[in-house]
């Protein structure tokens, strides 16, 4: 195919005038998931003329690179939906126009404060990964962006409290999308703690609780992000270049549980979107255990076996047996949900994992994977222990995770791993990174055996929040098999 004349995605290219809608949604997090999920949904509302509010997307960390590209593309980007939905093959692309602008708060904190003072702002959405929704002690400086996500929320709400003199009608609805149980309640607790740290007025704490609504949520859509290696193909198909191309599956589910009734809801359901304003418990149990849990169970072993994507792992007969056996024998039995719903959801998960269009990279699933294992799979592991079962697939996946976490060198703020010439980033919190680096360094220097190394890692409260050394013998045996090239003996023996 002949290369097209280079064109950039901008308002001029699509013939779009500046939308009249005001910025009503503040969004902390401008990554692939938010662009392929929340911002796509808001754009669906726009297309159906159900809502005209727009999104101001705030960069959550100092290392972000998306805001300059958003600005260069006038806030526009393309979402590509590919896969099966209700038995039909979907392969479509559309320009999303819901983002008004991106803001780097470390350079333009005053712009964020202006948003806090705006009467138009009604909503705050976020996705800063599971590692972002944590308490971090830091100083309050009114003219400088806090480093942590909850710190930014606290400073934002305090600025709003001051601007509106504590008026209850100035409160907003906060909808965190981080994959943490009771994420809205967790965010609220952290904000209240930070307000105490900063010695903010008691009246602010009262306004915080009375005027604002924090929602627990569940999000479900596989968003793989930019299609690296396919840039030219998509440029030819679309007729322009888009540095923020975002690939996602058609399936989506958004469950929102406000802590108390809302005066106003975004009309997602009216637009035909799969959004439910109801308790998240059942939906969360299914998704976290059977979809996210299966991702975490399979990623490290599949990568060490030479695969790069979820789809590739399912195309390997040996890995597929491991994945399906783990799902059927070790995950489904310990999920607290009706059997019919569990089986139906599990079948949909396998179908989604087989999506021929999505290249969901295993190394992406591996980011913050220790935290993910702790929250997604440890409950299943401990449930089997209480039933006197030995969950061999879960223990094999734990061994593969620890081998995957063996670092080769530092990589900026993170670590870099290397498996048979394939390098990847190891991203965890600093405490976990330091422990991984020091423990595996002792092994590499011959100062600790593999069994001692595995035992040290499993008993580290800083990794798991508990002592897992009771699993050391089995996990060390599996790790030995991995490091010595006998990859499948431990799972097929």
Average pLDDT over residues 150-173: 98
3-state SS, residue 126: strand
| Cα–Cα distance measured from residue 258 to residue 390, given in angstroms and rounded to the nearest whole number | 39
| Cα–Cα distance measured from residue 87 to residue 427, given in angstroms and rounded to the nearest whole number | 37
Q: What is the pLDDT of residue 160?
A: 98
Task: Please answer whether residues 416 and 426 qualify as being in contact, where contact means their C-beta atoms are separated by less than 8 angstroms.
Answer: yes
Task: Please answer whether residues 135 and 150 qualify as being in contact, where contact means their C-beta atoms are separated by less than 8 angstroms.
Answer: yes
Q: What is the pLDDT of residues 29-65, one digit of tens each?
A: 999 999 999 999 999 999 999 999 999 999 999 988 9
Sequence-distant (≥ 6) Cβ neighbours of residue 469 within 8 angstroms: 455, 458, 459
Task: Please answer whether residues 450 and 484 qualify as being in contact, where contact means their C-beta atoms are separated by less than 8 angstroms.
Answer: no
Of 268, 253, 277, 220, nearest in space to 46 by CA: 268
Q: Does the pLDDT of residue 186 top 70, yes or no?
A: yes
Task: Please answer whether residues 158 and 117 qualify as being in contact, where contact means their C-beta atoms are separated by less than 8 angstroms.
Answer: no
| Cα–Cα distance measured from residue 370 to residue 297, given in angstroms and rounded to the nearest whole number | 11
Q: Does the pLDDT of residue 172 top 70, yes or no?
A: yes
Q: Is 411 left (phi over 0), alpha (psi -120 to 50) or beta?
A: beta
Q: What is the pLDDT of residues 357-369, one digit of tens each?
A: 877 899 999 999 9
Classify residue 260 by its DSSP letter. S
Q: What is the pLDDT of residue 17?
A: 67
Average pLDDT over residues 252-263: 95
| Cα–Cα distance measured from residue 249 to residue 91, given in angstroms and rounded to the nearest whole number | 9
Of 222, 22, 15, 216, nearest in space to 118 by CA: 22
The domains found in the chain, sorted by start residue, are: 11-279 (3.40.50.720), 282-492 (1.10.1040.10)
330 token code pair:
């070790």
Mean pLDDT of the chain: 93
3-state SS, residue 259: coil
CA dihedral 121, 67, 113, 208 (to 10 degrees): 60
Residue with tokens 């930014």, as numbered in its chain: 152
More confident residue, 460 or 356: 460
Q: What is the pLDDT of residues 103-157, one digit of tens each?
A: 999 999 999 999 999 999 999 999 998 789 999 999 999 999 999 999 999 999 9
Per-position DSSP letters for 226-250, written without gaps between them: S-TT-HHHHHHHHSSB-TT-EEE-S
Of 74, 83, 191, nearest in space to 133 by CA: 191
CA dihedral 139, 144, 145, 150 (to 10 degrees): 30
Q: What is the pLDDT of residues 416-441, one digit of tens each?
A: 999 999 999 999 999 999 999 999 99
Secondary structure of 349-379 as H, E, C letters: HHHHHCCCCCCCEHHHHCCCHHHHHHHHCHH
Q: Label residue 1 by pLDDT band (50, 70, 90).
A: very low
Q: What is the pLDDT of residue 67?
A: 96
| Cα–Cα distance measured from residue 178 to residue 182, given in angstroms and rounded to the nearest whole number | 10
3-state SS, residue 487: coil
How many whole angstroms from its chain centre is CA 252? Answer: 14
The percentage of the chain sitting over the pLDDT mark of 90, rounded to a whole number, equals 84
Of 474, 422, 460, nearest in space to 300 by CA: 422
Task: Please answer whether residues 212 and 206 qualify as being in contact, where contact means their C-beta atoms are separated by less than 8 angstroms.
Answer: no
Average pLDDT over residues 70-93: 91
Average pLDDT over residues 184-210: 98
Q: H helices of 90-134, where?
A: 109-116
Q: What is the pLDDT of residue 18?
A: 58
Supply φ then ψ for residue 130, to 5 degrees.
-60, -35
Q: Does the pLDDT of residue 181 top 60, yes or no?
A: yes
3-state SS, residue 80: strand
User: What are the angstrom distances between the C-alpha of 403 and each of 11, 211, 406?
Assistant: 48, 48, 5
Per-position DSSP letters for 144-192, written without gaps between them: S--SSHHHHHHHHHHHHHHHTTT-GGG--EEEE-SSSTTHHHHHHHHHH
Rg (CA), the chain: 23
| Cα–Cα distance measured from residue 455 to residue 448, given in angstroms and rounded to the nearest whole number | 10
The percentage of the chain sitting over the pLDDT mark of 70, rounded to a whole number, equals 96
Q: Does the pLDDT of residue 68 top 70, yes or no?
A: yes
Bridge partners of residue 419, in order along the sequence: 422
* Count of other CB atoms within 10 angstroms of residue 141: 11
How many whole angstroms from its chain centre is CA 309? Answer: 17
Of 56, 41, 133, nearest in space to 96 by CA: 41
Average pLDDT over residues 294-315: 96
Supply φ then ψ for residue 284, to 5 degrees.
-65, -45
């Amino acid at each position: 195919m002949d290369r097209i004349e280079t064109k950039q995605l901008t308002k001029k290219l699509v013939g779009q005038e500046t939308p009249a809608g005001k910025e009503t949604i503040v969004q902390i997090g401008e990554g692939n998931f938010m662009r392929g999920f929340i911002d796509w949904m808001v754009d669906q509302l726009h297309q159906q003329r159900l809502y005209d509010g727009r999104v101001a997307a705030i960069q959550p960390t100092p290392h972000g690179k998306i805001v300059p590209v958003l600005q260069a593309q006038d806030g526009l980007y393309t979402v590509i939906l590919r896969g099966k939905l209700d038995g039909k093959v979907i392969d479509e692309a559309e320009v999303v126009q819901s983002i008004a602008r991106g803001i780097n708060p470390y350079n333009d904190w005053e712009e964020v404060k202006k948003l806090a003072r705006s009467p138009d702002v009604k909503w705050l959405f976020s996705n800063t990964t599971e590692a972002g929704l944590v308490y971090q002690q830091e100083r309050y400086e009114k003219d400088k962006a806090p480093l942590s996500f909850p710190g930014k929320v606290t400073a934002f709400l305090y600025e709003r409290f001051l601007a509106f003199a504590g008026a209850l009608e100035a409160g907003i609805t906060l909808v965190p999308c981080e994959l943490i149980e009771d994420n809205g309640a967790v965010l609220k607790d952290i904000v209240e703690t930070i307000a105490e740290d900063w010695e903010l007025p008691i009246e602010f704490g009262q306004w915080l609780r009375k005027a604002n609504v924090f929602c627990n949520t569940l999000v479900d859509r596989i968003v793989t992000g930019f299609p690296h290696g396919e840039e030219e193909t998509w440029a030819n198909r679309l007729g322009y270049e888009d540095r923020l191309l975002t690939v996602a599956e058609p399936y989506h589910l958004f469950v929102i549980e406000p802590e108390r009734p809302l005066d106003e809801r975004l009309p997602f359901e009216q637009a035909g979107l799969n959004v439910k304003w109801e308790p998240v418990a059942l939906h969360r149990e299914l998704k976290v255990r059977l979809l996210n849990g299966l991702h975490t169970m399979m990623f490290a072993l599949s990568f060490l076996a030479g695969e790069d994507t979820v789809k590739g792992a399912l195309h390997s007969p040996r890995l597929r047996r491991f994945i399906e056996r783990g799902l059927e024998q070790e995950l489904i039995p310990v999920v607290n949900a009706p059997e019919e719903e569990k089986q139906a959801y599990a079948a949909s998960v396998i179908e989604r994992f087989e999506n021929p269009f999505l290249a969901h990279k295993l190394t992406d699933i591996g980011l913050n994977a220790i935290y993910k294992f702790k929250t997604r799979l440890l409950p299943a592991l401990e449930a089997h222990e209480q039933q006197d079962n030995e969950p061999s697939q879960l223990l094999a996946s734990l061994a593969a995770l620890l081998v995957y976490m063996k670092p080769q060198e530092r990589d900026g703020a993170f670590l870099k791993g290397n498996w048979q010439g394939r390098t990847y980033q190891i991203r965890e919190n600093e405490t976990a990174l330091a422990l991984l680096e020091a423990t595996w360094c002792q092994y590499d220097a011959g100062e600790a055996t593999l069994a001692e190394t595995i035992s040290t890692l499993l008993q580290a409260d800083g990794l798991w929040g508990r002592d897992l050394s009771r699993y050391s013998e089995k996990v060390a045996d599996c790790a030995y098999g991995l490091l010595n090239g006998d990859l499948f003996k431990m799972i097929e023996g």
